[in-house]
């Protein structure tokens, strides 16, 4: 049951308790205790007991919703961690597969790719190359609000190695109780362009303004499309779909099949990735 409905019921019971005693006699003094209650008295007494019961049920509902929100946040964090692990494992597998084609190996202690080359004197030299950088969206932050404007900052993070010539466009869809809205005016802009990011560093953008007049807004969906390069200049594609939930006040991921529906909405609005 919605909290508003509990409040309406409690308000109605309060009116009964406050107003009804003024309409007639509440208690017959010739009788004691409950035997002296008139019809009005019993109505008021019953309304009082119902007020206690509805308040108790409202508190139970609030506790239940808090537990559900906590479980959803925990599940969201687990999904996020799982996606991060899968992304890292996939990247490692791609690196190892590529190395195997050229008889290369990865030195985990030195965090470097090593190839052994022998010269005519049978001396051994190590030729090293940085491992592939991994770029991701570290966080989506609601910086401030001033209806109908929302100011959001995007934090980018680079791990494993430095990333170069980062160019990423950001496409945005707002989700309200009335449907989805595509921000065509914002989507022509680059989130970041021709920028480098050092390994283990986070770069946060200035606040970006989004205007949404529908107060029933639930989420902003962000699709990031672009690329970056490693030290050798190899181009690495970047595609990521995330959202900011106004209910949870944090960045999140959506499960299937809902995730695919949002991607389809971007495609219908001409986004290519």
Per-residue pLDDT tens digits for 46-67? 766 777 877 777 777 777 777 7
119 within a domain of the structure (yes/no): yes
Is residue 64 included in any domain, yes or no? yes
Q: Is the same domain home to 107 and 141?
A: no
| Model pLDDT, residue 170 | 92
Paired tokens of 13: 């019971």
Structure-block tokens of residue 266: 């971007």
Nearest in space to 174 (alpha carbons), one of 183, 186, 162: 183
Is residue 165 domain-resident?
yes
Q: Is residue 51 part of a domain?
A: yes
What is the Cα–Cα distance from 152 to 203, expressed in whole angstroms?
A: 14
Looking at the structure, tell me whether residues 7 and 104 fall in a common domain: no
**Residue 263 and residue 147 in one domain:** yes
Residue 153 forms beta bridges with which residues?
Answer: 141
Q: What is the pLDDT of residue 68?
A: 78
> Do 121 and 41 sit in the same domain of this protein?
no
User: 105 and 152 in one domain?
Assistant: no
Q: Which structural domain range is residue 93 located in?
A: 89-129
Task: Give the global pTM.
Answer: 0.54
141 and 188 inside one domain: yes
Contacts (Cβ under 8 Å, ≥6 apart) of 214: 174, 176, 177, 178, 181
Residue 175 lies in a domain: yes
**CATH number of the domain within which 190 lies:** 2.60.40.2420
Alpha-carbon distance of 149 to 151, in angstroms, equals 7
Q: Are residues 137 and 208 in the same domain?
A: yes
Structure tokens at 117: 């080359």
Token code pair at residue 263: 């991607």
Q: What is the pLDDT of residue 45?
A: 65
Return the structure tokens found at 97: 């597969």
Question: What ranges in the chain are assigned the alpha helix state H?
Answer: 3-19, 39-101, 258-268
Cβ–Cβ contacts within 10 Å for residue 54, how many?
Answer: 18
Residues of the chain with pLDDT under 70: 1-4, 6-7, 10-42, 44-45, 47-48, 90-130, 185-188
Rg (Cα) of the chain, in Å, rounded? 30
In the chain, how many domains are there? 3
- Do 100 and 112 lie in one domain? The reply is yes
Is the domain of 138 the same as that of 261?
yes
Shared domain for 167 and 203, answered yes or no, is yes
148 preceded by cis ω (within 30°)? yes
pLDDT confidence of residue 225 = 94
Q: Are residues 216 and 110 in the same domain?
A: no
pLDDT at site 119:
45
Asked if the structure places residue 235 within a domain, the reply is yes
Domain boundary among 104, 129, 154: 129
CA neighbours closer than 13 Å in the CB half-sphere of residue 204: 9
Using an 8 Å Cβ cutoff, are 154 and 204 in contact? yes
Q: 77 lies in a domain?
A: no
Q: Is 155 exposed, middle or buried (0-12, 13-18, 19+ CB in 10 A)?
A: middle
- Give the pLDDT confidence score for residue 156 in this predicted structure: 95
Clarify whether residues 35 and 46 are in a common domain: yes
State the Cα–Cα distance between residues 104 and 66, nearest whole angstrom.
52
Sheet holding 112-118, edge to edge: 105-107, 112-118, 124-129
245 within domain boundaries? yes
- Cβ neighbour number for residue 112 with a 10 Å cutoff: 16
């Amino acid at each position: 049951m919605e909290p508003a409905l509990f409040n309406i019921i409690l308000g109605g019971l309060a009116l009964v308790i406050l107003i009804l005693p003024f309409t007639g006699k509440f208690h017959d003094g010739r009788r004691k205790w409950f035997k002296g209650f008139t019809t009005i008295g019993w109505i008021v007494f019953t309304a009082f007991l119902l007020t206690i019961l509805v308040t108790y049920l409202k508190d139970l509902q609030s506790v239940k919703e808090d537990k559900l929100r906590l479980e959803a946040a925990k599940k969201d964090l687990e999904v996020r961690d799982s996606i991060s692990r899968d992304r890292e494992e996939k990247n490692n597998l791609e690196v190892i597969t590529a190395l195997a084609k050229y008889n290369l190996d990865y030195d985990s202690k030195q965090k470097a790719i090593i190839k052994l080359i022998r010269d005519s004197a049978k001396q051994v030299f190590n030729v090293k190359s940085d491992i592939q950088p991994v770029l991701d969206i570290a966080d989506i932050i609601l910086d401030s609000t001033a209806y109908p404007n929302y100011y959001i900052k995007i934090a980018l993070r680079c791990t494993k190695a430095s990333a170069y010539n980062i160019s990423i466009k950001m496409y945005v869809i707002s989700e309200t109780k009335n449907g989805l809205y595509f921000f065509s005016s914002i989507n022509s802009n680059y989130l970041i362009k021709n920028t480098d990011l050092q390994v283990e560093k986070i770069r946060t953008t200035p606040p970006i303004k989004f205007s949404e007049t529908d107060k029933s807004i639930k989420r902003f969906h962000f699709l990031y499309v672009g690329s970056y390069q490693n030290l050798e200049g190899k181009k690495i594609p970047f595609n990521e779909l995330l959202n900011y939930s106004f209910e949870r006040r944090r960045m999140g991921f959506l499960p299937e099949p809902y995730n695919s529906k949002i991607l389809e909405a971007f495609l219908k609005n001409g986004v290519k990735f």
